Amino acid sequence: MTRPIKPAPEMDLGELPEILGYLLRIAARASDRQVLPVLAANGFTRAEITTLMIIAYNPNRSLQEITTAVGVEMPATQRLVNALRQKGYVTQSRPDYDKRITQYQITPSGLEQAERMKDLSNEKDRKLMNGLSETEKKELFRLLRHVGSYTE
**Averaged pLDDT of the chain:** 91
User: Would residue 8 count as lying in a domain?
Assistant: no
User: Would residue 86 count as lying in a domain?
Assistant: yes
User: Would residue 135 count as lying in a domain?
Assistant: no
Per DSSP, what are the bridge partners of residue 61?
104
User: Would residue 61 count as lying in a domain?
Assistant: yes
Classify the C-alpha dihedral 103-122-111-82 as positive or negative. positive
DSSP 143: H
Map residue 95 onto helix, strand or coil: coil
Please report, for residues 17, 39, 126, 143, the alpha-carbon distance to residue 45 in angstroms, rounded to integers and kept in the order given. Answer: 29, 6, 19, 26
pTM equals 0.82
**Cα distance between residue 102 and residue 63, in whole Å:** 7
Mean pLDDT across 118-144: 93
The percentage of residues in the chain with a pLDDT greater than 90, rounded to a whole number, is 77
User: Can you give the pLDDT at residue 10?
Assistant: 83
Say whether pLDDT at 7 is over 90.
Answer: no
User: Would residue 94 count as lying in a domain?
Assistant: yes
User: Would residue 26 count as lying in a domain?
Assistant: no
The parent domain of residue 86 ranges over 43-120
User: Can you give the pLDDT at residue 107?
Assistant: 98
Which helix (H) or strand (E) covers residue 46, if one does? helix 46-57
**What length is written for the chain?**
152
What CATH number did the domain enclosing 50 receive? 1.10.10.10
User: Would residue 83 count as lying in a domain?
Assistant: yes
Q: What domain count does the chain have?
A: 1
Say whether pLDDT at 2 is over 60.
Answer: no
User: Can you give the pLDDT at residue 64?
Assistant: 95
User: Can you give the pLDDT at residue 152?
Assistant: 59
User: Can you give the pLDDT at residue 150?
Assistant: 77
User: Can you give the pLDDT at residue 6?
Assistant: 66
Please report, for residues 33, 89, 104, 146, the alpha-carbon distance to residue 60 in angstroms, rounded to integers and kept in the order given. Answer: 33, 14, 5, 28
The string of pLDDT tens digits covering residues 31-62 is: 999 999 999 999 999 999 999 999 999 999 99
